Amino acid sequence: MRFREMAAAVRVLARNDLARYSGGGASETARFESELGRMLGVEHALAVNSGTSALIGALVGAGIGPGDEVLVPAYTWVATAAAPLAVGAVPVLVEIDDSLTMDPADLARKITPHTRAVIPVHMLNLVCDMDAIMKVAADHDLVVIEDTCQAIGVRHHGRRVGSIGHVGAFSFNQHKNITSGEGGAVVTNDRRIYARAAMHHDVGSYERPGWIETEALFPGVNHRMPELSAAVLRPQLAALDAQLDRRRERRRMVLDRVASGSWTGVTTARHHDEADAVGLALTFDDPAQARRFGEVRGARRLIESGRHVYTNWQSVIAKRSFHPRFDPHAWAHREIDYGPDACPATLEILARTCSVELAPEVPTPAFRFLTRSMAR
């Protein structure tokens, strides 16, 4: 943790107001929400305690529930598929393409009369083809929930991701561009989505004026962000663009390293806004080459990335809930396939592709040293 985050945490501890509503002064969480909304150019930002909570809150806000089908990519953290189950909806798998993000053509193929929402995921700071996805969604009257957990701050044709769909979800866990250990946010320009998500995230929301005056009251849960989390996020948010600039520069550095080496049959995973690319993955013609490159320090073969691959989503594959009478698949209108053959193109792409860690926190001389093996 850097000095500014440490100072922010000490400031909150000194006030002894660790919960958002425990003190009488201005809340760190409210300030963070305001700053996040301003950066993204959205009207409403709601801080929550995790990216999973943000996805659930976005679904609740959008009115997604039992029997609804929600389209999710077959390559994403398992929470993207688990969040629909938490509201009684069922996730339906969609293939990725060579950008490692949702394939708009397969998205269109997977739509049924019961499809209500789509969750495109910006994986590894790689941005979805949002223009194509928004068009498919508009043609079929679908809600677009951007899972921006792995790409906060990144731009797509001049707009920050998370602000393009009807609602966006962010994560601030340990491995994200900015982090408070755990944390998340829901962002939207839709007042009704915001009001419903806010009501859901705080079981005591009916005592907090300004959120629910236009919505019928329903009981929520407690997904609130604590003040310490918001305090350590605020200075990171202010420095986020500088961090993304370092990622962009290091992306070019790694590509130069790889180009000067002896790796063959390798291409850069397609980016839908190449001029603003800040994430990097390399795709090989031969899976064996990808396996060897995945052993290089700072690289990882994506088929081996555990719970990011749909074939490893054991809790989703089980088609069970915490109680037999709350079983989303019992409310589904058809059998949903989560088997290993559900998205074969995704598995084939992941077997040939490696992500590259750009490590903006590492000093540049050390990063150059770490990447020497990529130019074998």
Instruction: For residues 285-294, give the mean pLDDT.
Output: 96
The whole-chain average pLDDT of the chain stands at 94
What's the pLDDT at 210? Answer: 59
The class level of CATH for 3-239 reads alpha beta
Residues 6 or more apart whose CB falls under 8 angstroms from that of 38 comprise: none
Query: For residue 335, what is the DSSP state?
Result: P
Q: Is 65 exposed, middle or buried (0-12, 13-18, 19+ CB in 10 A)?
A: middle
What's the pLDDT at 20? Answer: 85
Largest pairwise CA distance in the chain: 64
Question: Quick check: 25 pLDDT over 90?
Answer: no
Q: Which two tokens stand for residue 122?
A: 């910006």
Predicted confidence (pLDDT) per residue in 355-372, tens digit:
999 999 999 999 988 888
- Of the segments 34-38, 204-208, 254-258, 323-327, which one has the largest average pLDDT value? 34-38
Q: State pTM to two decimals.
A: 0.95
Predicted confidence (pLDDT) per residue in 315-335, tens digit:
999 999 999 999 999 999 999
Closest CA to 63 of 192, 201, 223, 169: 192
Question: Quick check: 1 pLDDT over 70?
Answer: no
Topology agreement, domain 3-239 and domain 240-307+341-375? no
Distance CA 265, CA 245 (A): 28
Predicted confidence (pLDDT) per residue in 148-159, tens digit:
999 999 999 999
Question: Quick check: 40 pLDDT over 70?
Answer: yes
Helix, strand, coil % over all residues of the chain, rounded to 5: 40, 15, 40
What's the pLDDT at 24? Answer: 63
Q: Which two tokens stand for residue 320?
A: 């069970």
Give me the residue spans of the domains in the chain.
3-239, 240-307+341-375
What's the pLDDT at 23? Answer: 65
For residue 15, what pLDDT band results from cuts at 50, 70 and 90?
confident
Output the DSSP codes for 8-75. Answer: HHHHHHHHT--STTSSSS--HHHHHHHHHHHHHT-SEEEEES-HHHHHHHHHHHTT--TT-EEEEESB
What's the pLDDT at 207? Answer: 80
Question: Quick check: 211 pLDDT over 60?
Answer: no
Residues 6 or more apart whose CB falls under 8 angstroms from that of 106 comprise: 94, 95, 97, 345
Residue whose token pair is 């963070």:
32
Instruction: For residues 284-306, give the mean pLDDT.
Output: 95
What's the pLDDT at 315? Answer: 95
Predicted confidence (pLDDT) per residue in 263-283, tens digit:
889 999 999 999 899 999 999
Instruction: For residues 58-81, give the mean pLDDT.
Output: 98
What's the pLDDT at 365? Answer: 92
Distance CA 62, CA 17 (A): 32
What's the pLDDT at 261? Answer: 81
Which CATH superfamily, name and number, covers 240-307+341-375?
A: Aspartate Aminotransferase, domain 1 (3.90.1150.10)
Instruction: For residues 170-179, give the mean pLDDT.
Output: 95
More confident residue, 340 or 215: 340
Distance CA 174, CA 172 (A): 7
pLDDT more than 90, % of the chain: 84
Report residue 45: phi and psi, to 5°.
-135, 135
